[in-house]
Amino acid sequence: MAVRIGITGGIGSGKSIVSRLLGLMGIPVYISDTETKRLMLSDGQIRDGLVALLGPSVYAGGGLNKPLLASYLFGDKEHAGRVNGIVHPRVRDDFRRWVQGHAACPLVGIESAILLEAGFRTEVDCVVMVYAPREVRIRRSMERDASTREQVEQRVSNQMDDEEKRRQADFVILNDGETPLIPQVLKLIVSLSENIPLPLPAENIVPTIKTE
């Protein structure tokens, strides 16, 4: 069975860049954000669950009523948990099927900003956190999304703290705009290929070896 790499990081950290580099190196990556959007439109169980929660207008016009869903999600912290309880199990099942379809690949990945929060830690063999300083992440997100600083900071505050992610990660890839990414990704691949679950030390990849 393929070794499953979980790729995570906060908004603006650059996890999508790392996923693209892995793809270019022949390692397929399941992009959970893209696949979740697809499933929210195509999966009958998700559709039934959201309609039961929010009413038929959540699929107004045949598509997902994103403003209604966003309004509900940001209306109360418990609301996100209810939506996630509908969506995440189906994404997990879809990822498992996807992994089975890539059984011939020695390494596969899943990219998710909320990999740890969603309880997907048990679905992967190692967690790679893509890390960038807070100010760098905010600047990147403002430029990419044409968002205000206040909007980005709100999104950052709604995500798991970076230091907590670091503590739970097996590897940390630094994406500060100065440290080269490709050597770090190559060292990650070599480490995973040669020594699972204990990775080899690397200059720019900081492994966290669990002792419990």
Angle in degrees, 0-180, between the axes of helices 44-54 and 66-73, rounded to the nearest 10: 60
Give the percent of the chain with pLDDT over 70: 91
The contacts of residue 194 (CB under 8 Å, 6+ apart) are 200
Give the tens place of pLDDT for each residue, 7-27: 999 888 899 999 999 999 999
CATH 3.40.50.300 segments of the chain: 1-28+108-212
Give the 3-state secondary structure of residue 131.
strand
* pLDDT tier, 156 (very low <50, low <70, confident <90, very high otherwise): confident
The predicted structure's pLDDT at residue 154: 77
| Mean pLDDT rounded to a whole number for the chain | 87
Mean pLDDT across 58-82: 86
What class does CATH assign to 1-28+108-212?
A: alpha beta
pTM: predicted TM-score of the whole model, two decimal places: 0.84
The predicted structure's pLDDT at residue 77: 74
